[in-house]
Structure 1
């Protein structure tokens, strides 16, 4: 952990997006609104809203990560950890917005395909059940 800054970690179930990155400050948003974190911040745990988390590095660069909510933990006034289901990282808000739009469109398409497949499997199961439930005579066997 850096002595004179914050250490930022952002993780999803699939990967660690940011791993111990030294940052000067961080802004996030929970149910009560936006808040900032700097070195020496009190320990805390909060549930983030779906929002954009932003942080500033020592070189003055501002970076962004769109999250679908998640848990943010500040510990020892020097470490910030964020765990969320999904995150999209970017160095500009415009690029991040486009990336989030693309990711959302891909997610919606995958959900649509899954619904189509679920409907197909359901129809196939119903046809199979009807074949077995029909009277013997309709299957060409003596009744």
Structure 2
């Protein structure tokens, strides 16, 4: 089976990044370290570490994808499947590094904005409860007295 090619499928819950792309070899990393896959590899399942997966396509081009952990499975010595929560693909390591940094910065910014919105909502709710529990002189003007 050494002349057979591998195919790679890589998916996240939101997107299929690569679907049955023909590859020659793949390198990934699990808890035991870095490992390689070539055509004819034994069936295999492992948990990936957050890392960069790289592979060589049939045309000789090397591609990269940063993954946030995940599961890698080899089936029938010819199909490599990766399922992960998040992935960022790149044609070169330097551009991938920039893309990962930008992604994480955007994620941190979104989390920071969500925390600020949550604090504002909480403060508004506390003010509303205080107004209800301790009505001031404005209560009479708002119709709190009988007519």
The two structures have a TM-score, normalised by structure 1, of 0.91
Deviation at 1:136, TM superposition (A): 7.8
The match for 1:63 is: 63
Deviation at 1:41, TM superposition (A): 1.0
In 1: Cα distance, 2:27 partner to 2:39 partner:
13
| Residue 79 (str. 1) matches residue 79 (str. 2) | yes
The match for 1:102 is: 102
SS at match of 2:49: strand
In 1: Cα distance, 2:126 partner to 2:28 partner:
49
The match for 1:134 is: 134
Deviation at 1:13, TM superposition (A): 1.0
The two structures have a TM-score, normalised by structure 2, of 0.88
The match for 1:11 is: 11
User: Which structure: larger Rg?
Assistant: 2
- Residue by residue over 1:9-29, the C-alpha shift from the partner in whole angstroms, topping out at 9 and shown as x without a partner, is 000111100000000000000
Deviation at 1:83, TM superposition (A): 0.7
- What is the Cα-based RMSD across aligned positions, in Å? 1.7
Deviation at 1:128, TM superposition (A): 1.3
Size of the alignment, in residue pairs? 140
- Residue by residue over 1:5-64, the C-alpha shift from the partner in whole angstroms, topping out at 9 and shown as x without a partner, is 111000011110000000000000011111111111111211111000000012211000
Deviation at 1:137, TM superposition (A): 7.4
- Residue by residue over 1:49-104, the C-alpha shift from the partner in whole angstroms, topping out at 9 and shown as x without a partner, is 10000000122110000011111111111101111111110010001001111111
Deviation at 1:139, TM superposition (A): 3.9
The match for 1:111 is: 111
In 1: Cα distance, 2:129 partner to 2:13 partner:
39
Unaligned runs of at least 5 residues, structure 2: none
| Residue 21 (str. 1) matches residue 21 (str. 2) | yes
Residue range with higher mean Cα deviation, 133-142 or 33-42: 133-142
